[in-house]
Chains A and B, each alone.
Chain A
Amino acid sequence: MLNSILLDGLALAGAGIGAGVAALAAGLGIGRIGSSAVESIARQPSESGKIQTAMLIAAALIEGVALFGVVVCLLIALA
């Protein structure tokens, strides 16, 4: 018997889990970018400026996607 309180609670739980998964995914993705960036700098230290720039851009793009998820979870939690 799912009454409305349980449904509200489930929605909030879903929002919390969603935000956690989004953070997890962002961490994984940006971790991979960071690792390959650091590796490439180790291989070719003279190109470190370009590699750093590319790393920042890719990190910002991935973070944007993760924040889509966060915004959706915020909407669920607050509305």
Chain B
Amino acid sequence: MAVSVDPASVASTDLHALDEPRVIDPGLARADRVFRQVARSIGLSMLVLILAIGAFIGYQAIPTLRAYGLDFFTESAWQPELNRIGVSGALVGTIEIALIALFFGIPFAWASALFISEYAPPKLKSAVVSLVDLMAAIPGLVFGLWGFFLLQPHAIDLSRWLSQHLGWFPLFKVNTDADAAMWAQSRYTSSAFIAGIAVSMMVIPYACSVMRGVFAQAPIGEREAALALGATRWGVIRAVVLPFGRRGVIGGTMLALGRALGETVAVLLIISPTFEIKFNVIEVGTMTISALIAGRFGEASAGQLSALLAAGFVLFVLTLGVNAVAAVFVNRSRSGSITEA
């Protein structure tokens, strides 16, 4: 006997209501549960460690920020014995040196990245890529030595030339007679300018390797399409590589900035400490926050340590912001994301 059943009526009867598909989910195997727990706890401990550091530094900075308030950000002197403490001088110096480093470093990093990805002979390419990565691993200390002992004697000539010809511009002003026959060389040494060049040496390989990575990912089909349409090599770069790699250039620059802001030893070796807000960058004396910390922690009392930690906190927030912006640009083209497709 054929019975035609209306599905809706069946579903509504009590008898069939129980007839739903069982959920087939045995849960995870025990090994997996353990694995996940262990992995999660390792990840958590890393998280806790990092948050603890951030919280600790922030917490330690509170007394200082409470005691000095906004003065901490406007005062430029660092004279704990006179109860005058502020980071503005060091903050300005930090930013100046980082910007000088980018000014010299990024064009070279950009050109080197293009050279490697577009111009280098294919046989040389992987060797040059390794070399750049190796350069990125060279300690900042080496560039500090290089900057102070090799670069400085030559760079002060450039500094003098700048102050002679562009001295009317506040950045290049030096408070001495640049045209004197016996010119005061010591007025041009240990400046933010020279420290910036040394830091730029660290920035070049770092930024170059980020940019090269993105340039290399420019789609080959579009490159060859451009070539087939008669583009020159520069035409390919301008029409395909650069638009595709724009994120890499911006992100690499920001990452380099983050690195330049935090560099300690190369700067510490070169500069002579001065605690003032100073814009004439080629004149002797400047200060950065990291150099301040490395130079002053030794004789610091508990209160001064808190002040140093507060200064460090300011630096941390600064680099964090810069790197967060960089991450937005770089992570879009995160390596390996394609393989997950």
A and B held together in a complex: no
Chain B residues packing against A (C-beta within 8 Å): none
Residues of A within 8 A of B (CB): none
